[in-house]
Homo-oligomer: A and B are copies of this chain.
Amino acid sequence: MPGPVRLAAQLVRSFGQFSLLTNVWTGVLFTLALFVSSWQGGVFGLLGAVVATATAYAVGVDRYIIDMGTQGFCGCLTGIALYVFLGPHPSTYLLTIGGAVVCVLAFAALTALVAPWRLPVLTAPFCVVVGAVLAAAPAFTRVWPGGSTAALPIAAAPGTAYTWTDLWHGFFANISQVGLSAHWYVGAIMLVGLFVGGIRYGLAAVAGSAVAVLLSWALGAPPAAVAAGVYGYNAVLVAVAMGGLFLARTVPNALYTLVAVAVTTVLTAALNAYFAPFGGRTLSWPFVITTWLFLAAAASFPRIRRIA
């Protein structure tokens, strides 16, 4: 049983792990940001983190690993996501508890599945668990009393003009959407958290978010979606993970990360279409898939050097 300080550190790190950082102050700022975004969402996140952390203790995960927040963050994200997509119903609490337990198992399973390629699981356990729950929800009247959200993907309507507000809101919302929030000020607090974790993480997030906004604008994505961060949170995650964590800080690696940021932005649109007809969700799959592909490819390129 961890002491209160140790437990508190584990829980705030579960929030900080949304962008794979272990710095406890990053965690504090991310926790603060997401409670500012919605105190109810924060409570759901905390519930998920507590249950996932307890599950990790119960199944005998190494305590040092639990301390890093790697066991709690998928449960934490699951709680927030279920609150956002299903609303604060009693059944959502129960699903958060169940989902957080399964997150720990999914983390172990996916770790084993990607082990042959020395790939990290990233946020894949969260994507698997929440994706399954949300696709299943309309079949169960006590979980989702309304109609199914499944629909054929529709094309963006041309002719809508961008405003400056769209662009700078999008820049910050790309960061806040890492915690499933669309508020620009939440993104601003989280960006401070990233800089506190390390200058390079903050710079990577700034670059990733800016490239995503510019590319979405250049390709003609709908302004409202860009302003809400829809096309950029995966870019932020890719930039922080590849630019900050997994690759050495060299010019070729920075260019490589930039290509990955562009790829994940387009992939976000592709996966939005993919998940629409059956009511699944894109979540951070574009980040997961892009990072897996680019890390798997890296071993073939002598100029790209992986450090983690």
CB of B105 within 8 A of CB of A266, answer no
A301 and B108 in contact, given A138-B273, A139-B273, A273-B136 (Cβ under 8 angstroms): yes
Measured CA separation A216–B143 after assembly (Å): 11
CB of B158 within 8 A of CB of A141, answer yes
A25 contacts the other chain (CB 8 A): no
User: What's the minimum C-beta distance from A52 to chain B, rounded to whole angstroms?
Assistant: 14
A1 contacts the other chain (CB 8 A): no
A60 contacts the other chain (CB 8 A): yes
CB of B132 within 8 A of CB of A266, answer yes
Measured CA separation A155–B145 after assembly (Å): 8
A280 and B274 in contact, given A109-B294, A148-B154 (Cβ under 8 angstroms): yes
Measured CA separation A137–B297 after assembly (Å): 25
CB of A143 within 8 A of CB of B219, answer yes
A306 contacts the other chain (CB 8 A): no
Q: How many copies does the complex hold?
A: 3
CB of B106 within 8 A of CB of A152, answer no
A279 contacts the other chain (CB 8 A): yes
A219 and B140 in contact, given A59-B303, A270-B132 (Cβ under 8 angstroms): yes
Chain B residues whose CB sits within 8 angstroms of the CB of A267 once the complex forms: 132, 136
A108 and B278 in contact, given A145-B158, A155-B139, A156-B139 (Cβ under 8 angstroms): no
Residues of chain A having any CB pair with chain B under 8 Å: 59-61, 91, 98, 101-102, 105-106, 108-113, 116-117, 131-133, 135-148, 150-159, 216, 218-222, 259, 262-263, 266-280, 292-294, 296-297, 299-304
Q: List 8 A-B pairs, minimum CB-CB distance, nearest first.
A: A141-B220, A142-B220, A136-B269, A138-B155, A139-B269, A140-B219, A109-B297, A108-B297
In the assembled complex, 19 residue pairs joining A and B whose CB atoms fall closer than 8 Å, in A order, are A98-B262, A105-B259, A109-B296, A113-B117, A135-B269, A135-B271, A138-B156, A139-B155, A139-B221, A139-B222, A139-B272, A141-B221, A147-B155, A148-B152, A148-B153, A148-B154, A148-B273, A150-B152, A150-B153
